[in-house]
Structure 1
Amino acid sequence: MKDPLSGKSMEPVELAALVRPDRGLGGPLAIQIYRGLLDAIRAGELAGSLPSSRAAAAALAVSRNTVLSAYKLLRAEGAVTIRAMVAPARPSLGPA
């Protein structure tokens, strides 16, 4: 799960520290996860690959489909690249 450019990969516990979906807020948890990750990416807090959807789901105590939905939104935004059997990677972006 390492990013070949930075050599870093995010552990599921690191993801859980950055993103804390709250069922009490209402609205889809996938959107909360997506927004939290997008904010972290834009702030430069994510240097490497995200955890697999299964590992992220376990760390965030949500379903895998919820994480997959969030990752798909990030892909549509161009914030990550997703390949089968490979952890989603943040592309190298210049300053925002």
Structure 2
Amino acid sequence: MSHTIKNKKQLLTRVRRIKGQAEAIEKAIEQAADCSAILQQIAAIRGAVNGLMTEVLEGHIREHLGTDDISPQQRHEDLEQVLTVLRSYLK
């Protein structure tokens, strides 16, 4: 079972909050809101996305790399997958 299914409700709550924040930015831009307010909303979304990424990544590492019941080859493949995602995320 995927760890995202175990925390599905919690993760969906985070995603929906991010969606609401993005919609608020769209509305603010449409209404020509003050730049500082828009920048603050962008910073809030970035924090929310970082929190979501951290939660999913931590679960992935614990479930896929932290167990003793996988082969060294599978562990290596999972590690490479995580590193690829991290490199992409941190660009």
TM-score by structure 1 length?
Answer: 0.25
**Structure with bigger gyration radius:** 2
TM-score (norm 2): 0.26
